[in-house]
Amino acid sequence: MTEYRDANGKRLSDYPRPSVAVDTAVLTVPVGGALSVVQVRDQTDGDWRLPGTFVHESERLADAVLRSLRDKAGVTGLAPRQLHVFDDPSRDDRGWVLSVAHLDVVPAASLDLGDDARLVPIGEATGMVHGHDDILGFAVDRLRADHRGAPDRHGLLPSPFTMSALRGLHEAVLGERLLPDSFRRAMVPLLTATDAKAAEGPGKPATLYVR
């Protein structure tokens, strides 16, 4: 086979190229808690960051993501999707590293984290190395956009649920208080009311909904 050369007579190996990494923001909302992210502790530096890894030779991006989640966070069974490519040549102090960021949003109960992983509110996950703060910010913006137009887009609440529980989830995701009446009017057309009721303190039982 003839070796490939471009119009300038150069081979692929003649061009400098970045290292390629994958980094994943795994987001969730613990019961009664704030929007949170999975962090892993680096074995060398001891700092906390998003789970990620360099892509190995001939490895698919999706396989590298699952490998990093398994080996660094002790998490399996997730299905992250590509979020964004972070390609600023100066973003990583280790050198020219292109990061293909991924996002997964899962119920907190489905996360069984390893010893070197933790779940922390996004407001506390700051000062991370290798541009991970930017990746987390981008992931949070995407998740919040999802929740502004649809009820519990990622199935964080077990069904059926009350309207107040749904509103509490959306408040945790959006990081802001929502007017109950306005929220109800926006969500009811997008939900199906069941015949079941749930007691929520004094007053008449609340209707239970499904997506």
Domain range summary for the chain, segments of one domain joined by +: 12-148, 161-210
Range list of β-strands (E), 143-202:
161-162, 192-198
What pLDDT was estimated at residue 25? Answer: 98
b/e per residue, 20-38, with b = 16+ CB within 10 A? bbbbbbbbbbbeeeebbbb
pLDDT digits (tens, 9 = 90+) for 109-142: 999 999 999 999 999 999 999 999 999 999 999 9
Model confidence, pTM = 0.91
Range 190-194 average pLDDT:
94
Q: How sure is the predictor about 5, in pLDDT bands with cuts at 50, 70 and 90?
A: confident
What pLDDT was estimated at residue 46? Answer: 86
Using the predicted structure, report yes or no on whether residue 15 has a pLDDT greater than 90.
Answer: no
What pLDDT was estimated at residue 199? Answer: 72
What pLDDT was estimated at residue 202? Answer: 66
pLDDT digits (tens, 9 = 90+) for 86-110: 999 998 888 999 999 999 999 999 9
CATH tag for 12-148 (out of 1.10.3720.10, 3.90.79.10, 3.40.190.10, 3.90.1170.20): 3.90.79.10
Identify whether the C-beta of residue 60 lies closer than 8 Å to the C-beta of residue 108. no
What pLDDT was estimated at residue 152? Answer: 95
Range 24-32 average pLDDT:
95
What pLDDT was estimated at residue 28? Answer: 97
Identify whether the C-beta of residue 61 lies closer than 8 Å to the C-beta of residue 55. yes
Q: How many CB atoms lie within 10 A of CB 6?
A: 10
Give the span between the Cα atoms of 115 and 118, in whole angstroms: 8
Q: How sure is the predictor about 157, in pLDDT bands with cuts at 50, 70 and 90?
A: very high
pLDDT digits (tens, 9 = 90+) for 147-156: 988 999 999 9
What pLDDT was estimated at residue 168? Answer: 96
Give the span between the Cα atoms of 164 and 161, in whole angstroms: 8
What pLDDT was estimated at residue 158? Answer: 92
Range 6-33 average pLDDT:
90
As a CATH number, domain 161-210 is 1.10.10.10
